[in-house]
Chains A and B, each alone.
Chain A
Amino acid sequence: QQNVQQSPESLIVPEGARTSLNCTFSDSASQYFWWYRQHSGKAPKALMSIFSNGEKEEGRFTIHLNKASLHFSLHIRDSQPSDSALYLCAVSTYAQGLTFGLGTRVSVFP
């Protein structure tokens, strides 16, 4: 049974700062790694994904994966108030769907 843990539980950062979110997983056979963002009362939306070890950058967002350490992370450069949301990491294997972490609530203040 996959176990996905996120840290920290919550984060308050000033506008313009770097935000770093962490996710660990337990199943070494996991293949696909996702970050979702969920604004209050809305459905989660996929933000970024990574499938092999290393780093991937898209705009202000960077995702790192280290399968040997069972760890991946999301970094947000130049955080904006609109980035305030619940961030969920998720892991999947084959077609069975995603296992989500408990989430990190991010608040960016101007």
Chain B
Amino acid sequence: AQTIHQWPVAEIKAVGSPLSLGCTIKGKSSPNLYWYWQATGGTLQQLFYSITVGQVESVVQLNLSASRPKDDQFILSTEKLLLSHSGFYLCAWTGTYNNQAPLFGEGTRLSVL
């Protein structure tokens, strides 16, 4: 069975500090991978997606960047955090067929102070 793991579970960071969030999918080769962001009480906003290693497409940047260094890994990062980066970050994956429901990891809750 496929599993998706996000790390860390939660972070408290200072404005201006760097950030790196990770996501690993096990049990599935060549997944499509996605990053979403959810402000408190808000909807899910897609940030990036990747359908293959080394290729990442930006949907909404929000002064963040993403990379896919391995087939099963997706990284979200920034050099300098803003207050507006606070929220819930979710990684999701789908298989080859577009009619499969994107499945989410458990998320990382980020507080920027």
A31 to B90, CA, bound (A): 23
Q: Among B34, B103, B107, which residue has its beta carbon within 8 angstroms of that of A97?
A: B34
Interface size on A, residues (CB 8 A): 23
Is chain B's binding surface mostly helix, strand, loop or mixed? Answer: strand
Interface size on B, residues (CB 8 A): 23
Q: How many A-B residue pairs have CB under 8 A?
A: 55
What sequence of 0s and 1s flags, for each residue 34-59 of chain A, a beta carbon within 8 Å of any chain B beta carbon? 10000000111110010100000000
A42 to B46, CA, bound (A): 17
Tell me whether A46 and B44 are in contact in the complex, defined as CB-CB below 8 angstroms, given that A92-B98, A95-B32, A96-B49 are known contacts.
no
Is B90 touching A43 in the complex (CB atoms < 8 A)?
yes
Interface centre among B43, B45, B106 (most CB of A within 10 A): B43
Question: CB within 8 Å of B: which of A78-108?
Answer: 88, 90, 92, 94-103
Question: CB within 8 Å of A: which of B59-113?
Answer: 59, 90, 92, 94, 98-99, 101-107
Tell me whether A100 and B32 are in contact in the complex, defined as CB-CB below 8 angstroms, given that A43-B105, A92-B98 are known contacts.
no
A46 to B106, CA, bound (A): 13
B57 at the interface (CB under 8 A from A): yes
A96 to B32, CA, bound (A): 9
Show 23 A/B contacts (Cβ-Cβ < 8 Å), sorted by A: A32-B98, A42-B106, A42-B107, A43-B90, A43-B105, A43-B107, A44-B44, A44-B90, A44-B104, A49-B99, A49-B101, A90-B44, A95-B32, A95-B98, A96-B49, A96-B59, A97-B34, A97-B92, A97-B102, A100-B43, A100-B45, A101-B43, A103-B43
Contacts from A to B (Cβ < 8 Å): 31-32, 34, 42-46, 49, 51, 88, 90, 92, 94-103
